[in-house]
Chain A
Amino acid sequence: MTVHSGFTKVSLDAFEGVSEEPGVAKPDPIMVADSVTRRFGGLTAVRVDHFEIQREAITALIGPNGAGKTTFFNLITGFDKPNAGHWSFEDEDITGLSGYKVAQRGMVRTFQLTKALSRLRVIENMKLGATGQAGERFLAALIRPRWRDQEQAIEEKADELLERFKLSHMRDEFAGELSGGQRKLLEMARALMSDPKLIMLDEPMAGVNPALAQTIVGHVKTLADDGLTVLFVEHDMDVVRTISDWVVVMAEGEIVAEGRHASIVANPRVIDAYLGAHHATPLDRSEQDRQLAEAETVLDEEESRTEVE
């Protein structure tokens, strides 16, 4: 990897002395978010007071389904607009910056529902990931000598990454012909083409067989070893155990706990969030009906929102 870093390798040590409480400050944050709020009608999907990502560490963002993890993720990557809040990346304010500009700054994301570009070859998928391509400008595109050398360099880099992610044999196939797991790998490899500083993976292990999940875990570890910062969303706590340096737990839109994995699993607030202390089970029939109706209005609003977008 060409990612350069002036820092020495950090692992658990970076969190030495960091107290394990929600919204705690990190020694060297690459990203800081403050009072980010996103409401869907009457429901507050995200209400994060303070959130920091430690540089060159693997941070896991976990929480039960519907905790607002992906919504928060969409907000800070510029794929959704918040009702309030601001956040910065590498000490520069990037609040409300559109998704593509966020990516250009080195904060690249993947999606929960894998977005392989089906009718493009695997190698084309990869080459698309490189940023700052001269040949992507309309007029320069017409004159091949203007971008031929760069294209060649990009292709070499793409081939190296394909090799590393064991996709070389699929190089010239359509991405649509890959299996679900291979698509996850392709999406990760493609994101690396831009030499990101922070890579944000939305449920990279979801819907993948256990063997491949292990491979993905291995790749995520390698990323961090190469000096990247990784933030990944996951709802399965066991997956998180092996790879994360730091775990952030979200429930009902808020950060309820932070810390190392060992202390997180013992935290009563986390157990509440996962198993439900009192809010998950309806008290009686009318309560249940009310909750269902509430959920439906929220879903409808969300649907109409996505339609407009």
Chain B
Amino acid sequence: MNWTRIFDNSLSAAIRPNAIIFAISAIGLNVHFGYTGLLNFGQVGFLAIGGYGAAISVLQWNFPLWLGWLFGLFCAMCWALLLGYPTLRLRADYLAIVTIAAGEIFRLSVMAPSFREVTGGSDGLSGFNNDWRSLNPLPDGEYGIGFLKFSAAETWSILVGWTLVLLSVLLVYLLIRSPWGRVLKAIREDEDAVRALGKNVFAYKMQSLVLGGCLGALAGIYFVTQQASVVPSNYSTAQTFFAYVCLILGGTARIWGPVIGSMIFWAIITFTDNFLRQAIDAGYISGSLLDPNQVGQVRLMLVGLGLILLLVFRPQGILGDRRELMLEAR
């Protein structure tokens, strides 16, 4: 078995675009769930709206890519307002139901043959990111530190992506340490108490929903830009729950929680995948027990097992404060 290869792949997975996308998406969820107590089960809908908004505006109206990005964010803002307006006055579960359903509605709608001209149906869209490639200042070649090596295009994606992660973290940090963030955290604890102190709870919840949704859209826009295509099958509801896994793994209501969580999540996913495949190849695991086609499913089972163990032994996540978590039960 080639252990260097396994570790090499796992480590690079922690900084590749997938980790970036889930980090930003989970930062958005952290604003919703970690700080405001909003149950958004349709974060993937925001990713899809952002991605499609950017792609469609570039292809249909010849927007430059940067304007397409802004348009994607704008769409996510409207989406948040649309979903939030009827549900944020109600109990928390209503938002959960509406967001998960709306995400599915959007995914199924863009697949519909009648919208094929605009959305590309189930094949999706491509050819909107020429600007992205021409913006890449890096000459062809290999880049990296130590044994981690990436192509020029990958390095460009990774650099821009982590810049976006850092900016998102900075934005959330600045907001959460302010009195505005204090109101959000108070709403998470008890919104009636906050209302009794003269705060417009509905408006704050809406702002939180828009902020977290736009972060989700940012992740979605980055996702489609670096992979040069937007395909509806990428937006299954499971993606939202993977983002929740990242968030809980790293620690909810912690500034760096979603980022650390996403890096570890992708490292573990890649590690189990590589390990199982190599173990099968080397004959350590008999082919009758597990064949390579089943690895994709088994690795998720192992991640699930790991998550259960985490919740048993470290329910607060990697960065969380156990004492703080225990107060919730009262």
Contacts and interface: CB of A to CB of B under 8 A. Distances in A.
Interface string A119-151: 110001101110101111110111010010001
A141 B31 CA distance: 15
Given A137-B180, A141-B178, A144-B178, A119 B327 contact: yes
Interface residues of A, number: 46
A151 B195 contact: no
Which secondary structure dominates chain B's binding surface?
A: helix
B201 A100 contact: yes
A174 B193 contact: no
B182 A111 contact: no
Contacts of B188: 119
A301 interface: no
A206 B231 CA distance: 59
| Chain A CB within 10 Å, residue with most, of B90, B186, B198, B327 | B198
B179 A174 contact: no
Contact of A136 (B179, B190, B195): B179
B7 to A, nearest CB: 38
A177 B182 contact: no
B201 A119 contact: no
B180 A138 contact: yes
Contacts of A111: 192-193, 196
A166 interface: no
B206 to A, nearest CB: 10
B175 interface: yes
A244 interface: no
B322 interface: no
Contact of B195 (A103, A124, A129, A137): A103
Interface in B282-330: 323-324, 327-328, 330
A118 B330 contact: yes
B67 interface: no
B60 to A, nearest CB: 31
B90 A308 contact: yes
A110 B192 CA distance: 10
A118 B328 contact: yes
B11 interface: no
Interface in A77-132: 77, 79, 98-101, 103-104, 108-111, 115, 117-120, 124-125, 127-129, 131
A127 B179 contact: yes
B199 interface: yes
B47 to A, nearest CB: 23
Contacts, number: 118
Interface in A253-309: 307-309
B59 interface: no
A176 B330 contact: yes
A184 interface: no
B109 interface: no
B178 A142 contact: yes
A194 B198 contact: yes
A141 B196 contact: no
Nearest to A109: B196
B181 A108 contact: no
A142 B174 contact: yes
Contacts of A191: 196-197
A101 B194 CA distance: 12
A26 interface: no
Contacts of B196: 77, 79, 99-100, 103, 108-111, 115, 191
A79 B197 CA distance: 12
B268 interface: no
A142 B175 contact: yes
A52 B199 CA distance: 27
A199 to B, nearest CB: 11
B327 A177 contact: yes
A115 B187 CA distance: 11
A140 B192 CA distance: 25
B198 A100 contact: yes
Interface in A158-182: 174, 176-177
B200 interface: yes
B319 to A, nearest CB: 15
B195 A99 contact: yes
Given A111-B193, A141-B174, A142-B174, 6 more contacts: A79-B196, A120-B186, A128-B197, A129-B197, A138-B180, A309-B90
14 contacts: A77-B196, A100-B201, A110-B196, A120-B189, A135-B178, A138-B175, A141-B181, A151-B179, A174-B327, A176-B327, A177-B327, A190-B197, A307-B91, A308-B90
